[in-house]
Amino acid sequence: MTIAIGCDHAGFQLKEKIKDYLESKNLAFEDFGTFDEESVDYPDYAFYVSKAVASGKCEKGILVCGTGIGVGIAANKVPGIRAALCHDLFSAEATREHNDSNVLTMGARVVDWNIALDIVDTWLKTEFAGGRHQRRVNKITAIEDMMAIERAEEIALAIADNKKEKNGSDDNVSE
Ligand code: RB5
């Protein structure tokens, strides 16, 4: 399993600590940045990590920003991503068992950094429970699918309207 890991400037130091931890456990990871504490925009790194997980390149992802909230909001925009903000062990275990979360987010300005490593450990080793939880996760996927269909229909209508308008104006030009 390769873990995608990323952060913004506020999460950089904790991300480095998590990388040391993963290394000590012989767990493979790919670091999607950022690579220092210079100010950056967290949605960029949330997108890189989420894309790697959604595409299957990496099995799971870990994202760190100041609060863990911004990266989580951005990550959850990527179809197939179930990002969970966890600042305690109960949530880390429950979100793997119940939600099959595939991205863990944490806030470096919120969580105790030693607890953060325990959260990573718990989140990585806890299996999805399946059963009734699978039905609920399927409903999350169904929401994504329905929204994608609605969006595709909107785009198709906009293209059709645009074509009509264009044809109309061409007619006018030739008159
Ligand atoms: C950066 O200052 C901060 O806004 C960011 O790390 C994060 O907490 C956003 O949700």
Q: Which residue has the CA at smallest separation from atom 10 of ligand 1? A: 70
**pLDDT number for residue 172:** 53
What is the residue range of 151's domain? Answer: 132-166
**Distance between CA 124 and CA 104 in Å, rounded?**
9
Helix%, strand%, coil% for the chain, nearest 5? 60, 15, 25
**pLDDT number for residue 169:** 63
**pLDDT number for residue 168:** 81
Q: Which residue has the CA at smallest separation from atom 5 of ligand 1? A: 66
Q: How many domains does the chain divide into?
A: 2
Whether 48 is covered by a domain: the verdict is: yes
65 lines ligand 1 (CB under 6 A): yes
> Based on the domain organization, do 137 and 152 belong to the same domain?
yes
User: 10-residue block means of pLDDT along the chain (175 residues)?
Assistant: 98 98 98 98 98 98 98 98 98 98 99 98 98 98 97 97 83 52
> Based on the domain organization, do 30 and 77 belong to the same domain?
yes
Predicted structure pTM score: 0.93
> What CATH number is given to the structural domain containing 42?
3.40.1400.10
> Based on the domain organization, do 143 and 58 belong to the same domain?
no
Strand order in the sheet with 60-65: 28-31, 2-7, 60-65, 103-107, 83-85
**pLDDT number for residue 26:** 98
DSSP 66: S
Positive/negative CA dihedral, 76, 82, 83, 88? positive
Q: How many Cβ atoms are within 10 Å of 136's Cβ, its own excluded?
A: 12
75 lines ligand 1 (CB under 6 A): no
